[in-house]
Amino acid sequence: MTNDGSKEYWPSGRSSERRRVAYIAQLAVPPGLDEACFARLLGGADEAAAFSGLVEYLGWNDRIDLCPVHADRGELPNDDYDAVIVGGSIASVNDGLPWQATLLEWLRRFRNTGKPLLGICGGHQLVAQALGGGVSKRDIGPVLGTLPIELTDAGKGHWLFSGMGAAPMFQFAHFDHVTTVPADGTVLGNRDGTVAAVDYGKGWVTTQFHPEVSCDRLASYWHTLTGDETLRFSFVPGSQRLIDNFFAKALGKVA
């Protein structure tokens, strides 16, 4: 399997080597929340288990050993991964929870390894905070729904959005957003006054939107938490290609 029909995913001579990829889960389902609505979804409320289904769908399961780490349950990641994905969270990064402080420390240490990382939604915000940026609540309310992003000049032609068109559509659901981009960051896209994607160099990229989930999973989260039954999310074919692009770049040689 190749990303663009010609470029191999794996460095020359290492095509059969399996890679260890951590999915750091930090969903932080509130205590007492009825999780019955997640029962029909792969993995239930466990987004690390759900992500394993995406790895299989994209055809990476024969190349990747997926290592789930539930940071919100007190599990600690280590540095022995070839790449890392940090998932989203119901908790705000400004809640100052003990497990968030531990994860922030780990992110700063992992940055020094030079290994690639993708931060998604809450992971996007946590990475910005770890690298010296700022995150706050949106004054004009949350960004919700299946929406296109506006690519910046840096985002147009960027490998993260390869093959995804000029205005790719993704699932958005967030109250907080990055208000100060760290010095290392290059903004790749925006949406409704929110920084939607950033490249930090050294293989670190983050997205405020969710390329990893289907509309039904995000709708289940949102409707259960808020009681809002308004139709906001719709199916987007191909949005998962961003994850494929990350694997292709991160598990090869990252510039």
Our CA angle for 90, 210, 38, nearest 5°, is 55
The pLDDT of residue 221 is: 78
Prediction pTM value:
0.90
Confidence of residue 253 (pLDDT cuts 50, 70, 90): low
**Residue 116 and residue 130: Cα distance in Å, rounded?**
15
State how beta strands 134-137 and 169-174 pair.
Answer: unpaired
Q: Could you give the domains of the chain? A: 19-250 (3.40.50.880)
Q: What is the overall mean pLDDT for the chain?
A: 89
Q: Can you read off the two tokens belonging to residue 168? A: 């790719």
Per-residue pLDDT at 165 exceeds 90? yes
**Residue 33 and residue 116: Cα distance in Å, rounded?**
34
200 touches 184 (CB < 8 A): yes
The pLDDT of residue 11 is: 39
Given its phi and psi angles, is residue 240 left (phi above 0), alpha (psi -120 to 50 degrees) or beta?
Answer: alpha
Per residue in 89-143, pLDDT (tens digit) is 988 999 999 999 999 999 999 999 999 999 999 999 999 999 999 999 999 888 8
